[in-house]
Structure 1
């Protein structure tokens, strides 16, 4: 890979890392369609390559969120354990599916979440808090569902967990994003290993993205804590729509 290509990938990683920190997703959600559109990677290879950036980004982002808004480790563990188990199932199933069908399923998934998040923002639902309405049995169920979808689509499940934690569990947006990132640590790690074992990772492309993401994700976390919650929800919805559009352009 040429030096110019590495530099451009590093800059791309900087942008993706900022967005990942802002929305609590590690950057994978936008990285997957970008890798497909800009580099022509099929769905599985794009997901596996994006995870090279996502795994270290998620680790750093969790620490930054924990510093600013302490994450309850028991709640995080309840989400993470079942997420890890079901991510293995989702990842293996994803590798057996048609790439085109997976892409369209992912597009629909993103648009449904975007619509849901936008409606909550427009209806001006009450701001959440640091205390969750429901305890670990329900968190474990959410972790299982999010982990399975994270393994299937290579996004760690955080994108699903965040709106559920804000709407059903009553968490604030930043608390939900911190917990969602904690949920994503084991599921993204096992999904990356699964994709790598099946040669669905471009390491030369993924590593510069990872470096760029690590340099910028803290900026995204600072932005997330400085914005009003309603605005952050609207931006999150728009982000999902942009990701879906980019992915549709690839089909």
Structure 2
């Protein structure tokens, strides 16, 4: 890799890290379409390479969210442990699937997620509660579903968990994004290990992306706490639709 390529990839990592911090997703949701469109990687290789950036970004963003809004440990553990177990099985299955079908499935997932978030913009907002609307062990059910999704697509668990936490469990958007990062941290790590064992990671490409993400993700977290909650949801919906469009053009 030339110095010019390294700098370009570093700049891309800076942009992805900022978006990851802003939306509480570690940057992987947009990194996968970017790697597929800009670098021509197949779906599994794009997912595995993106995870090299996602794992450290998620850990740093989790720490930043915890500093600003303390994350309840038992809530985080219920999400994280159930997600970890399900992600391991889903990732082992995902590396053996057809790449084009995986890409189509990912596009469908993104469109569905965008439509769901769009419907929430025009529905009556659920009242925010102190604590959780339902007993905290129910978080393990959410963690299991999110772990399956995260293991299958490399990312996705956190973006599923965030709207469920706000709509079903009654948390604020910022608290939901922090808990979603706690859910994603162990599952993304085990998914990365699984993809790496099956040679679905381009480490040379991933290194500058990961460095750029680490340098910029705190900016996104700071911005997330400064923006109005409705605007944050609008931006997230637009962001997901753009990702789906970019990947859909590759099919």
Contact 2:29 2:156 in 1 (8 A): no
Contact 2:134 2:169 in 1 (8 A): yes
Aligned to 1:226: 226
CA distance, structure 2, for counterparts of residue 122 and residue 206 of structure 1: 38
- Aligned pair count reads 251
- What is the CA distance between 1:48 and its match in structure 2? 0.2
Which deviates further from its counterpart, 102-111 or 184-193?
102-111
The TM-score normalised by the length of structure 2 is: 0.98
Runs of 4+, deviation exceeding 6 Å: none
- What is the CA distance between 1:234 and its match in structure 2? 1.1
CA distance, structure 2, for counterparts of residue 58 and residue 156 of structure 1: 13
CA distance, structure 1, for counterparts of residue 89 and residue 156 of structure 2: 13
Deviation per residue, 1:154-196 (Å, 9 max, x gap): 0051011011111111111110000000100100000000000
CA distance, structure 1, for counterparts of residue 103 and residue 206 of structure 2: 20
RMSD over aligned Cα atoms = 1.0
Aligned to 1:102: 102
- What is the CA distance between 1:122 and its match in structure 2? 2.2
Aligned to 2:152: 152
- What is the CA distance between 1:123 and its match in structure 2? 2.3
CA distance, structure 2, for counterparts of residue 128 and residue 51 of structure 1: 32
- The question of 1:44 aligning with 2:70 is answered no
Deviation per residue, 1:194-243 (Å, 9 max, x gap): 00000000000001000000000000001111111111111111111111
CA distance, structure 2, for counterparts of residue 138 and residue 144 of structure 1: 10
- Structure 2, unmatched stretches of 5+, are none
Contact 2:31 2:50 in 1 (8 A): yes
CA distance, structure 2, for counterparts of residue 127 and residue 202 of structure 1: 44
1:48-197 equivalence runs, <5 A: 48-126=48-126, 128-155=128-155, 157-197=157-197
CA distance, structure 2, for counterparts of residue 237 and residue 33 of structure 1: 16
CA distance, structure 2, for counterparts of residue 119 and residue 131 of structure 1: 25
- What is the CA distance between 1:121 and its match in structure 2? 1.5
